[in-house]
Structures are given as C-alpha cells and as structure tokens.
Structure 1
Amino acid sequence: MVQEIARFSSGSGHMAGPLLGTGQDGNPLLFSSVADGWEVSRWDIRTGGKVWCDREGMSGCNDKALVRISGGGLRLAIATEDGIEWWDALTGRRLPEMTWEGWTIWAVADGVLPDGRPILLGAGHDGVVYRWDPVTGEPLGDTPSKGRGIMTAVGFVPSPDGWGVLVSGDDDGRIWRWNAASGHQLGEPVEGHDSGVSLIRALPSAEGLLFVSGDQDGVLKRWNAATGAQAGPPIEIRAEVYALATARVGGTAVMFAAGSDEVVRAWDADTGEAIDLLLRSSVVSALAQPDGTALLATSTVQGDIVIHACALRVG
C-alpha cells in the first residue's frame, strides 16, 4: 500500500531531485536540487516550507549524497561539472573552503572506513574513483586510473567485517570493485552491461554484500560485491533509469527505480520478484522508517515534491 501524505511546490517550475535522509533525532529530512544547479534546498516535510535555500548556483548537479560526521553533524555533497560542493545539511551553510575542483564528478556515495571514519566517494570523468574526508573536504587518495573510459557510477557496500567494498561502473558497461580503505582493486572488472553503467546502489539484503547496477538501456543487475558474481537474472525495464533507491520495508529489502517513462517500479532485492506499485515520476528517493514502512519522495515535471508512506507486499 502506498499513500500520499504530503505534496508541495518546489517553486522551480520543473522536476526537482529529492533526497531523503535522517536527522540525529531519527526524524526524516528532505532535500532537493535541480539539474542545472541553480538551487539547493532543505524542506520541512510536515509543512512543505523551506528550512533553507541556496540560490548561489553551481555548475550543474549530477548527483548528491548525505554524509554523517561525528558529533551529529550532517554534510550534503553535490557532484558538479567542476568537482564537489559541500553544505552543512542541517543549517544550509555553504562550505566553500571544502570545495574540490578537478574533474567532472558524475556520481557520489557515502561510506565508512574500517576505523569508523566517514568518506565520500566520487565517480570521475577521468576514469578515477575519488575519496574525500567529509569533515575537511581533503582528498583521501583515489583508485588508479586505467587511462581509458569514464567512471559514471559509484557505491559503497558495507561488509560484516567492517571493511566495505567500493563499487564503480564505467561508460563501457564494466563493473569495478575496490578496497574502500586502501583503494586497491579487487579482481578484474566485470563486463556487466551492454551500455554505460548509470547507477549503483547497495542493497539492504538478507544475503549481504549485494548491490544493484543500472545501465542506459534500462537493465538492472544484482551483484555480489565480495565475488563480483551476478546474483540472479537481470531485470529488464526497457526505459532508461534516472534514479535508483533502496530501503527495507516490512522486513523485505526493496529496490525502487524511476526513469524516462515516468513510472516508479519496485522489486524484492533478494528474489528479483516484482512488487505492485502505482506511482508516476522520473525520480525517487527512499527512506526506511522504524515502524517497518518507508517514505518515498518523488517529483512531478511541474516541480511538485510528493511524499508517500509505503508498506508493500510482494506478489
């Protein structure tokens, strides 16, 4: 069951990219950005009012991620055509001293090093996966460049031993795996897709160490981050996926996808079985709730942000 619980205008006049997160008090937080980079905002989900809004602008918004830091702080990182921009996610204070300018970064993801330190990961146009300290913005080293291809997607897959696996995808459809702490490559890249990898997300799966990748042809594949082996058959949507989100809903690990046909779809992450879902949007963000439900945030083409409460059944 999916129920709309809030709807409000972003004021942009066109689709806004939502991002859900959790505050230190456990309450949900909502952020949005627009692709051309002219506005970044935080919203009060209950009232639809803006908590803060930055209209200083930047060179596009390719992707964004929330990174929790010690002391209850929360950073918002945005991947741009020029690099990485940072904000204090709670107050909206822009952090220009942390700006990183080097290459276009197509995707970002948050992760945790074995010693508990948070990191930000970035997929670079130069074929490199970057790592940054979200407290200072300082680079923490990067993966060796292969001299060809463009990294277009990145994700962090937690592991029971605390090490974690950094996963990336390139414009030739290859899937790469790296040690998140050292940046050393794990095995050879896998020829994972027939077109460029556009999205990677870790799965909150009972199987553990699983992630999902999507390509420009609308094909989703699940993988084991430890072995690099594919987990189950591919899921063919045949519409380009613009957004992938994952959440545990009622004990089930669920994948949500939205894209060029403006349909939000869902699957059981462990079995690949489709889940009935009737939502229309080209973007989606998901956040698991303590009561076993999930929040879904979508946007209309006119710029309305819509929040849904989601409790799903497989079948």
Structure 2
Amino acid sequence: MDDHRISRSFPDPEGDAVHALVPLTLGGAPAVVGKHGDGSLWTCDLTTGERVARPIDLGSAAPEDPVPDAEGIVWDDEDAFEDEKGEADAYEVVSRLAATRLDGRPVLVTGGGRFDLTALLGEDHMGGAVRCWDLATGEKVGRTRTGHGLGVTALAVLPSERGPLVLGSSEEGVLLVSALASGERVAEIRGAYNGVMAAAVVDGRPIAVTGGHDPHVEVWDALTGEAVGGPRPTAGAHVSALAVTGLDGRAVVLTGEGDNTLRMWDLATGRPAGTPLSGHADTIQEITLTRLGGRPVAVTEGREEPPRIWDLARAEQLGAPLAVPGEQAPTAVTATRIDGEPAVVTGHHDGTIRVWNVSA
C-alpha cells in the first residue's frame, strides 16, 4: 500500500488485533506499549518494529487490604480475606493503560475493568483497581489502589510537589489520586457519571478536568481534591472526551461532545476559545495531544471511523482522515515524537502498527 502520510508500517506475524497503545521511550528510542484482546502486553520499537512481550506479575495483583463488598461490609478477618482471593483476569486488570518513568525506569500504570476485583475477591465485589508495574521486570510497584465501584475509564500521570501522581477516573465518576511510587491515597474527587477525565499541570498546579453525563465540566486541584471555580457549562448535554493544552498563552479544555464536535474552552473562565471543529460522523471517544511547530495539535478518535488531526491554533483539520483503503478504522490510536517530529501511531485489527506523519 502506498500512502505518503505513512512513514512506517510494522505487521504482526501473529495477526492479533491491537486493543490499546501508549507511547514511551525505551533505551532512547521511541516506542509504544500495546495490548491484545487477551490482556497480553508488549512493546514495539517505532524505529525497528521489534516487538517484545511484557508480562506482568498477575499473582501480585490482589489488594493488600480487605475491600468492602457490594453491601459495604469489610471482612477484616485475615483468614476469611485470604480464602476469598481468586486469580487475576489479565483482560480486566489492563483495561486502561498509561506509561511513564519512575526513578529513571519505565513503568506501566494499569486501570482495571468493572470485574477486575470480582475475579480476585468473588462475586460480591466489583470495581477496577489501579496498579503500577515495572516494565522491565513485570513486578508490581507500590500498593494496589482500590476505591472504584465500576471500571476505570481514564488514567493520567502528573508531576507534583509531592512526587508523581496517578489519577484514575471510573464509570461512576469517582476520581482517585494516589502517589505513583507507593500507591498512597492523596485525594478523592466526585466527578460526573461516566468518568471522562483529563489532567495537566497549569501554572505549576496539577489539575484534573472531569466530565460525563452532565452539560458541564469541572476543574479540580489534584493534590487537595478541591474544586477550582464552579462548573463550566458546555454546548452539549454530555461530554465524551476531554484534554487540556496550551493555546495562545492560556490553558484550554478540549471537549468531544454529543454532537460529534470538538470544542475549545478557556480553562480559567469557561468561555469558548476558538471555532468548533466538526467532521466526525459519530462520537469522539478519545483526544490525544501533540505539537507541530510549537502549535498545539489534537488527534481525535471517533467511534468506528478514522482518526482526524486538528491544528488548534488555526482551527483547521490537517489533511484527510487517517484511513487505510479497504480496511476498518484503527483499533487504537496515540501520538508521540520521532526524531523530534510529531507522529500519530495506529494499531489495527490484523495487529499492524502504522506511523503517520502529522504535517504531510
């Protein structure tokens, strides 16, 4: 296939569909962490295409402390708690992914699906736990973070004065903030049902923006859990995707809304910032950010349609959607930088990884 926007293409000999991708740097080279439908993890070097399996120690996935059951009862008898433990379901454990570095080594943060704890603790328990793993050894780092009643829908890692923070939002709208290294709880935030979340450092302050089944978004201090101002109204009845970036010297919130439109809002005032961007035929499910020539660029992933790239400063789409003729829409999308230039990386039903030029 000949497409001038595709700079690299790496087929998968096994042909297993890619279900998620997150960028990171390994040994100085750009790479992605990916997962298959069975929950297995691997890395792909974006310069050579080499893939390496990355198993994690699922035997350590269980919470260290008793967890309330569906009735809110905590079984604190140690023997009873041990008897309840089952085997971790890899698919549930790695429902969501984020990658970062801790003390110089690459680590993977995973958010569990709604039946994550069910597999481990029995049918009276539900919810997704958040965990951190050493990517090289597969060993768990710190404690298993519980507290989500349903599945984790969004993950982020932010620097702070207290060290790196993990933010996990879930279907029921609970956002939990914890220390990356230890798993210690830092804050608990009540956001909107459906748990859409984005996070960033704004003016030196780690913040989270939450939305979902409400016609507004809310901004929170990630260290204290306190609201920053009141709710910011949106144009639509619900928010399906969120991101935070800088535009013309100010922080802006990007929202994917019910009318399939990408909008920008001034984070401080809640007022519209720029022209709404339309083109998707269905719900915008994810927004990934990068920069091109210093300008903020958003990559939007619609339901069962090719991703689109938007120059936010110019309020225009960059080129055609990232479609492969004769193929279904990508199954996973992320953005990274290769040799200093922005790139979009897509995963596909047949396991292929493609690297796309942003500016072409």
One-letter amino acid of the counterpart of residue 98, structure 1: R
Amino acid at match of 1:185: A
Per the alignment, residue 105 of structure 1 pairs with 152
Are the aligned partners of 2:242 and 2:286 in contact in 1 as well (CA < 8 Å)?
A: no
Distance 1:92 1:16, change over 3 A: farther
Query: What's 1:50 paired with?
Result: 51
TM-score of the aligned structures, taking structure 2 as reference length: 0.75
1:46, distance to aligned residue in structure 2 (A): 3.0
Please say if 1:9 is aligned against 2:5.
no
Aligned pairs, number: 302
Is 2:333 aligned against 1:300?
Answer: no
Query: Equivalent residue for 1:226?
Result: 268
Residues in 2 aligned to 1:264 and 1:295: alpha-carbon distance in whole angstroms: 13
Distance 1:306 1:94 in 2: 30
- Does the CA contact (< 8 Å) of 1:255 and 1:268 recur in 2? yes
- Per the alignment, in what secondary structure is the counterpart of residue 218 of structure 1? coil
**Residues 244-278 of structure 1, C-alpha deviation per residue, up to 9 Å, x if partnerless?**
21111233221111222421211112232221145
Paired residue type of 1:245: T
Distance 2:204 2:316 in 1: 30
Encode CA deviations 1:180-226: one digit per residue, 9 max, x unaligned.
22111012222325344232222253433123122354222212222
Where do 5+ consecutive residues of structure 1 fail to align? none
- Tell me the residue number matched to 2:241: 199
* Structure having greater relative contact order (Cα 8 Å, sep ≥ 6): 1
**Alpha carbons of 1:7 and 1:262: their partners in 2 closer, same or farther (altered >3 Å)?**
farther
After superposition, the Cα gap between the structure-2 partners of 1:62 and 1:248, relative to the gap in structure 1 and judged at 3 Å, is same
SS at match of 1:186: coil
Which of 240, 263, 275 is residue 283 of structure 2 equivalent to?
240
Give 1:28's aligned residue: 30
**Alignment partner of 1:65: what SS?**
strand
Contact 2:111 2:155 in 1 (8 A): yes
C-alpha separation between the residues in 2 aligned to 1:173 and 1:22? 38
Equivalent pair of 2:20/2:97 in contact (CA under 8 Å): no
Aligned-partner Cα distance in 1 for 2:225–2:110? 22
SS in 2 for 1:93: coil
1:246-261 to 2 correspondence within 5 Å?
A: 246-261=289-304
Among 129, 138, 142, which residue is 1:93 paired with? 138
Q: Is the 8 A contact 1:204 1:246 kept in 2?
A: no
The RMSD of aligned alpha carbons is: 2.6
C-alpha contact (below 8 Å) 2:207/2:220 kept by paired residues: yes
**Range moving further from structure 2, 14-23 or 74-83:** 14-23
Query: What secondary structure does 2:286 align onto?
Result: strand
Cα distance in 1 between the residues matched to 2:13 and 2:298:
26
Question: How far apart, CA to CA, are the structure 2 residues paired with 1:152 and 1:180?
Answer: 15
Q: 1:165 to 1:257 in 2, by over 3 A?
A: same
Aligned equivalent of 1:190, options 228, 232, 238 = 232
The aligned counterpart of 1:68 is 101
Counterpart code for 1:102:
G
- Compute the TM-score of the two structures, normalised by the length of structure 1: 0.84
Does the CA contact (< 8 Å) of 1:123 and 1:152 recur in 2?
yes
Higher strand share: 1
Check conservation: 2:297, 2:309, Cα contact below 8 A: yes
- Go from structure 1 to structure 2 and tell me whether the alpha carbon gap of 1:295 and 1:228 turns closer, same or farther (over 3 Å shift): same
Tell me the amino acid that sits aligned with residue 252 of structure 1. R
In 1, the alpha carbon distance for the partners of 2:13 and 2:273 equals 39
Q: Is the 8 A contact 1:200 1:211 kept in 2?
A: yes
